[in-house]
Amino acid sequence: MDADRPRVAVWRNAWLAGSETFVRDQVAAMRRWEPVRFGLRAVAEPLTPADRTLLGPSRHHELRLELTGSIGLRRRAAAFLRERQVRLVHAHFGLDATSARPVAARLGVPLVATCHGYDVTKLTRLPPPMGWEYRRRLRQAFDSAGALVAVSRFIAERMAALGADPDRIRILPIGIDTRGVRDTDPLPDPARRRGVAFVGRLVPKKGVTELLQTWGALPASLRAQHPLRIVGEGPLHAELAAAAAAVDGPVELLGYRSSAEVADVLARSAVYLQPSRTAADGDAEGFGMVYLEAALQGLPSVAYAHGGVTDAVSDGVTGLLAPEGDHAALHANLEQLLTDPALAGRLGAAGRHRVLTEFDVVTCTAALERLYDEVAGSR
C-alpha cells in the first residue's frame, strides 16, 4: 500500500469478467489514487486479481448472492474496506451501485457510480416485480451518490430518464490504452489493406446477423478481395457459423483472440463493421470501446447511429454511420469505403488522431481522479 495516495475501492459485484478490460485498464491508469479491487463474488479465471472477494466463483456462491444480495455481506465488506482506509467507493454499473450504497453509508464515505449500458437499458426492463425493485434501488443509489458518471451522452440520457439529476451527471469516457502508438507513426497504405473486421461477443446487441448479411450483399469481386474476419465467441456462434457456410465468399470465424492478435486483425483490415442495435430485451450499446481500438489502428468504422456509438464514431470524420435499422444505408457505407481507399485512409487517420487526443485511458482516468478529489473534498 502507498501511504501517500488516498485509496478508492473499485467495486464490482462479480470480480472481474474477461470482457471488462475497460475496468482493468482504468484501474491500471490511476496515478494519484490507489485502487483497492473489491468484489462480492469472484469469477472463474478473473481478468485481473482482486484485493478481496467475499464469495467464491461456484454456482452455490452465485445463487447465494442472487438470493441475499449484499445484505449478509455488508458488514464483512465494510470491515475490509475500513481496514484498508478507503476514502471513496467507486461502483461500476448501476446494479453494483445499489449493492455498494449501504456499504459506503456504513463507512461514511462517498459513492461514485458509473453506468455503462445494460444496467440502464436491459435491467430496467425486467418484468415486475424485479424491474420495479431494481429501478427503485437504482434511484436510491442515484440520489445518495456523491457523483454520477456516464460513459456517453446516451447513457447520461438514460440515467436522467431513470431519475438521476441531469446536473449531477458527468460524461467521462474510459478511453483505451494507446501506449506505443504516436500520431506521427505511418499507417498502412489504405489501397493495400484487405478485409472487413468485427470484434465482439456474438450476441444480438452487436448486430452479428446483419454483419454477415451486409458483407454478403457486396459484389462477389469485393467479397473475394475483402474477407470477413469475425473475432469473438458467444451464444450466436453456431447460428453464425451455419449462415457463414451458406455465403459465397471467405468468412473467417476466429473465435477468441488475445489483445495483440486483435490489433493485428484490425491493422490488416480495410474497414471495421459492427452494426450494433437495440436488442429485443432492450440491451443497447453504451459506448463501444472496440470502435476506438479500430480507430487506433487507422481503421474507419461502419455502424448504425445507435446508443453510445455516436460518441465512439464521429460520423463523416472517423467513420460512416447509418440510421439504426437502415440496412441499405449501412451496406452503401461499407461498399463506399471498400471502393474508395483514399476516403477510408482519411477517416482512419482522423480516427487515430481523435483517439490519441481525446480517448487515451491515462488522460481520461486523470479526469476521473479529479472528480474523486472533488467528491472526497466536498465530503
Q: Given this model, what pLDDT does residue 70 score? A: 59
Is 59 found in the same domain as 17?
yes
CA distances (Å), 337 to each of 76, 195, 287, 297, 318, in order? 55, 11, 23, 16, 12
38 found inside a domain? yes
Q: Given this model, what pLDDT does residue 14 score? A: 94
1 found inside a domain? no
DSSP 236: T
Task: Give tens-digit pLDDT for 16-27.
Answer: 999 999 999 999
Is 281 found in the same domain as 171?
no
Query: Looking at the 3D structure of the chain, how many domains does it have?
Result: 2
Q: Given this model, what pLDDT does residue 60 score? A: 62
pTM of the model: 0.95
Q: Given this model, what pLDDT does residue 73 score? A: 84
Task: Give tens-digit pLDDT for 89-121.
Answer: 999 999 999 999 999 999 999 999 999 999 999
The average pLDDT across 220-241 equals 96
Contact 109, 89 (CB under 8 A): yes
Task: Give tens-digit pLDDT for 244-267.
Answer: 999 989 999 999 999 999 999 999
115 found inside a domain? yes
pLDDT band at 61 (very low <50, low <70, confident <90, very high): low
Is 349 found in the same domain as 322?
yes
Is 93 found in the same domain as 69?
yes
Gap between the Cα atoms of 293 and 352, Å rounded: 9
Task: Give tens-digit pLDDT for 155-204.
Answer: 999 999 999 999 999 999 999 999 999 999 999 999 999 999 999 999 99
Task: Give tens-digit pLDDT for 288-321.
Answer: 999 999 999 999 999 999 999 999 999 999 999 9
Task: Give tens-digit pLDDT for 266-281.
Answer: 999 999 999 999 999 9
- Segment 334-338 long-range contacts (CB within 8 Å, at least 24 positions apart): 334/196, 334/214, 334/215, 334/218, 334/271, 334/273, 334/302, 335/218, 335/219, 335/222, 337/270, 337/271, 337/300, 337/302, 338/196, 338/218, 338/222, 338/225, 338/226, 338/270, 338/271
Is 303 found in the same domain as 215?
yes
Q: Given this model, what pLDDT does residue 58 score? A: 78
Is 197 found in the same domain as 126?
no
Is 164 found in the same domain as 19?
yes
Is 171 found in the same domain as 213?
no
44 found inside a domain? yes
Task: Give tens-digit pLDDT for 137-150.
Answer: 999 999 999 999 99
CATH number for 278? 3.40.50.2000
- The continuous run of DSSP H or E covering 37 comes out as strand 34-42
Gap between the Cα atoms of 64 and 75, Å rounded: 16
Q: Given this model, what pLDDT does residue 65 score? A: 61
281 found inside a domain? yes
Is 108 found in the same domain as 22?
yes
Judge whether residue 66 has pLDDT over 90.
no
183 found inside a domain? no
Q: Which residues pair with 91 in a beta bridge?
A: 11, 113
Q: Given this model, what pLDDT does residue 1 score? A: 60
Gap between the Cα atoms of 128 and 325, Å rounded: 29
Helices (H) and strands (E) in the chain, counts: 15, 13
Cell of residue 248, nine digits:
459465397
Is 147 found in the same domain as 250?
no
The mean predicted confidence, pLDDT, of the chain is 94
Q: Given this model, what pLDDT does residue 69 score? A: 55
119 found inside a domain? yes
Is 89 found in the same domain as 32?
yes
The average pLDDT across 49-56 equals 94
pLDDT band at 4 (very low <50, low <70, confident <90, very high): confident
Closest by CA position to 306, among listed 331, 330, 281: 330
Is 194 found in the same domain as 159?
no
111 found inside a domain? yes
Q: 229: domain range?
A: 190-358
Torsion of CA 230, 259, 287, 371, to 10 degrees: 180
